[in-house]
A and B are shown apart, each in its own frame.
Chain A
Amino acid sequence: MSGRLELDFSYFPGCSMATTAAESNMSLMKAARILGLNLIELEDWNCCGSSSAQTMCADLGTAMAARNLSLAPPGRPLVAMCPRCLHYLRSVQARLKNDPETRRDLEERWGRPIPLGLEIVHFLEVLVRYAPGRLQQNVKRSLKGLKFVPYYGCTVFRPPSLAREKYYQGEMENVLAILGAQPIVGAYTHRCCGSFLSATDPELVTPLVNEIVDSAVLAEAHCLVTACAMCQLNLEIRCNSMVKLPVFHFSEVLALALGAQDYEGWFARHLVDPRPLLKELALVA
């Protein structure tokens, strides 16, 4: 890392990345370190509010997301990896811009300002905005031969309340193509994975997940790469198709290409083991 500028960001992991998708968090940290992107975890963050708080009590959901904003130090962008967290953090920030009363109430409660100008970005955006050159310089293991379906899920696909915000379509393909992988078109890329219905109504979600995975099989992809930790989990646990494809977190494939060696610990946590595929392509030993 000698002689290279380190870029500082605040980082909001969220509940999934901190627990069920720990492998995504570990690989993200690894990739960021290699690229000289310093992701500083937001001190004592809480849940973004999630769909449940937003459904059960919108005011509580607003307050929970706002607390995270109040913890972010000024002067560096706040990065999220989970699309839902990103969505709630951004839409609450937008809501508070138009609701000075609630904002004042919350600020007085905590004695901390809520930064309305704070930039809230997805990690994909950090890559394409700050690090495209660094990607090319740091490829240690070309992903040549890896055919993947970029699976964004529903939420990075622009909820209407954020229609004027950054649009991430195509960014996974852009980044992974730089690293040598081959994006496959013709499969479902934005279909909803079932979200919380995977917990409450699995029999409803399984056929939908099968359709997504089957579409990738038909398109002759080797795997799916997801932008969302919850999608990754649902696509793995709810698929009961004859052919199951490995489902990677975007950060895992990224870190792998950047030369990470500690991948065993990530891939051991997958329900569909991706190691045979990676061995076949000679990407891992």
Chain B
Amino acid sequence: MNPPLPQEKTDGPMPEKTDAPMTIKPGERDRSLAAEVRSRSGTNFNCCFQCRSCGNGCPFIQAMDHPPNVLLRMVQYGMDREVLESETIWVCAGCHTCSSQCPMAIDLAGVMNTLRIMAMERGAAVAKPNILKFHEEVLGSLKRYGRAHKLGIMWRYKLKTRRWFSDMDTGLKMLAKRKLELRPSRVKAIKEIEDLFQHYWRKGK
């Protein structure tokens, strides 16, 4: 029999940051992070036996600070801060390669998505701030037009990250080929979109 799972943790503050190496004592570890991730992602990852298939298949593994299987183990160990402030959760592009390769059918990409949302709810330091800024700009475009306007998104993204000259040639080539529309394509009933932002944006349940 498994011990009963503790109550779900609500959006609590982040634990204190320390430089001391973390000692994990079996039997004393905090299971609340694992319980929350399990219930919110709808994925039972307790059957993970650390075979590393997920990390072996991941196209973006080299940009991650922890491979997906290690991150799962860290969740099980209750390492809230290390997990929610990891680069891994932001680098994951949700391609589901890990999820489809996992012999135990664990939806790791689903777990990553849950961890990103939890990281923002708890105000964790975002290890890849440029990726967050990009998502914010896409959201801004959706709010304004109901659709994604790529030129506007990239313009504002560059303004925020001050990466003006990186990747300029690609942008110019796309402009020359008319792949970046100057004017956004818009939803006519934009009121309906504004209304959705007002009612659903970060209201939670």
In the assembled complex, the Cα of A55 lies from the Cα of B126 at a distance in Å of 13
A51-B94, A161-B107, A269-B179 known; A192+B138 contact, CB < 8 A: no
Say yes or no: A237 contacts B173, CB within 8 Å: yes
Provide the residues of chain A in CB contact with B142, threshold 8 Å.
46-47, 50, 52-53, 64
B20 at interface by CB-CB < 8 Å: no
Chain B residues within an 8 Å CB radius of A269? 177-179
Q: How many residues of A contact B (CB 8 A)?
A: 52
A7 within 8 A of B: no
Minimum CB–CB distance for B197 against chain A, Å: 7
Give 1 or 0 for each of A168-188: 1 = CB within 8 Å of chain B CB. 000000000000000000000
Do the beta carbons of A15 and B170 come within 8 Å of each other?
A: no
Whether A44 lies near B188 (C-beta < 8 A) is yes
Among residues of A, the one whose C-beta sits closest to the C-beta of B136 is: A56
Complex contact A237–B170 (CB within 8 A): yes
Of A30-38, A116-124, A126-134, A193-201, the segment with at least 4 beta carbons within 8 Å of chain B is A193-201
A157 touches B100 (CB 8 A): yes
Closest to B94 in A: A51
Given contacts A56-B139, A196-B134, contact A160 B110 (CB under 8 A): yes
B201 to A: closest C-beta gap in Å: 5
A55-79 Cβ-contact flags toward B at 8 Å (1 or 0):
1111110111001000000000000
Which of B10-18, B72-80, B146-154 forms part of the interface with chain A?
Answer: B146-154
Q: Tell me if A233 counts as interface (CB < 8 A to partner B).
A: yes
B134 touches A192 (CB 8 A): no
Question: Residues of A contacting B117 with CB < 8 Å?
Answer: 55, 57-58
Chain B residues, Cβ within 8 Å of A270: 177
Residue contact A201 to B178, C-beta cutoff 8 Å: no
Evaluate whether A15 and B147 lie within 8 angstroms (CB atoms) in the complex, with A195-B93, A197-B93, A237-B174 already known: yes
Knowing A56-B135, A158-B100, A204-B60 touch, does A19 contact B150 (C-beta < 8 A)? yes
Flag if B120 contacts A15 (CB, 8 Å). Answer: no
Decide: A160 and B136 in contact? CB cutoff 8 A.
no
**B185 contacts A57, CB within 8 Å?**
no
0/1 string, B167-205, CB within 8 A of A gives 1: 100100110011111000101110011011101111111
The yes or no answer to A191 lying at the interface (CB within 8 A) is: yes
In the bound complex, do residue B139 and residue A199 qualify as a contact, i.e. CB atoms below 8 Å apart? Answer: no
Q: B35 interface residue, CB < 8 Å from A? A: no
Which residues of A are found within 8 Å of B33, using beta-carbon distances? none
A60 B201 Cβ-Cβ under 8 A? yes
The residue of chain B having its C-beta at the shortest distance from the C-beta of A188 within the complex is B59
Question: With a CB–CB cut-off of 8 A, which chain B residues contact A159?
Answer: 96, 99, 109
Give the total of B residues in contact with A, Cβ under 8 Å. 63
Contacts of A161 in B (CB 8 A): 107, 110
CB of A20 closer than 8 Å to a CB of B:
yes
Within 8 A of A (CB), among B118-174: 120, 128, 130-131, 134-136, 138-139, 142, 146-150, 153-154, 157, 166-167, 170, 173-174
Q: Are B200 and A55 touching (Cβ within 8 A)?
A: no
In the complex the two chains form, is B96's CB within 8 Å of A197's CB?
no
Q: Does A284 contact B (CB under 8 A)?
A: no
- B146's contact among A20, A46, A196, A197, by CB below 8 Å, is which? A46
* Cα of A59 to Cα of B136 in the assembled complex, Å: 16
The answer to whether the Cβ of A145 comes within 8 Å of any Cβ in the partner chain is no
Q: Which residues of B contact A (CB under 8 A)?
A: 59-60, 62-63, 91, 93-97, 99-100, 105, 107, 109-110, 113, 116-117, 120, 128, 130-131, 134-136, 138-139, 142, 146-150, 153-154, 157, 166-167, 170, 173-174, 177-181, 185, 187-189, 192-193, 195-197, 199-205
- Residues on A lying within 8 angstroms of B by beta carbon are 15, 18-20, 44-47, 50-60, 62-64, 67, 109-110, 154-155, 157-161, 190-192, 194-197, 199-202, 204, 208, 233, 237-238, 268-271
List 26 A-B pairs, Cβ < 8 Å: A18-B185, A20-B174, A46-B146, A47-B142, A52-B139, A52-B142, A55-B113, A55-B135, A56-B136, A57-B139, A60-B196, A67-B193, A109-B199, A154-B95, A160-B110, A161-B107, A190-B97, A192-B95, A194-B93, A196-B138, A197-B93, A197-B131, A199-B134, A200-B130, A204-B63, A271-B173
